[in-house]
Structure 1
Amino acid sequence: MRTEVITVRTGSRPVVRDITQEAARFASEAAGDGDGLLNVFVPHATAGVAIIETGAGSDDDLLRALDDLLPADDRWQHRHGSPGHGRDHVMPGFVAPYATLPVVGGRIALGTWQSICLVDPNGDNSTRQVRFSFVRG
């Protein structure tokens, strides 16, 4: 197994950050021309990984849907950080902190419009770690 950790700057507001290029580079280096599985993991209690289309508004739609589903208000029992921060700790129950993808011939087998995205609703932390792990098939 091979692993690598990258740092992603997410800023001070909710964001969906496309990390497909970084994941593809890692998978290509780790797999060579071979096959296997790429695991993408975010070791944070308030972030997740989504496989979605980006650039056509879907990333903003995802953030809006999360806001509708998990409003940033005072209903949450978890109450440290920014107002409504408790919802950030619930979000990984809906957007898991990991994704596992097939790698075929050294390339991640994504669909035409799919991207690997870090989803970070938590503006209290401006940087995130993402761990890529490759297991040869």
Structure 2
Amino acid sequence: MSDKIDELEIIEAAKAANAHDFISGLKEGYNTSCGNRGVQLSGGQKQRIAIARAILRNPVVVQDALERVMVGRISVVVAHRLSTIQHCDLITVLDKGRVVEKGSHPSLLAKGPKGSYYSLVSLQRTPSVSELTKLP
């Protein structure tokens, strides 16, 4: 596996870290020099860049860190990768802006192939639905 990261991966990581819009607005976009140690960036911008870098290096570590800081807090997580939310207390499935299902990961999977969440998990198939039901 190559350690080389392509431009699309960088842009996706920046979007995930909520940094893409401000980066795109810079004079030279992603090619802008921000000075030694990012001196020309605000503190919030530096944080978003750091999050994007972490996402590029090891998303599993980022996910683990997020799960640890969410313990004991109310958190709203919007996710496309369903493995991100499988341990949440309450999952709400939206379709065209409307709530179509609510419940825990196991209760939503228990609805089977007719359930919206089950169908979404089946589409992602990384791991399979049967493997997800075995998670603690």
TM-score using structure 1 length:
0.25
Higher helix share: 2
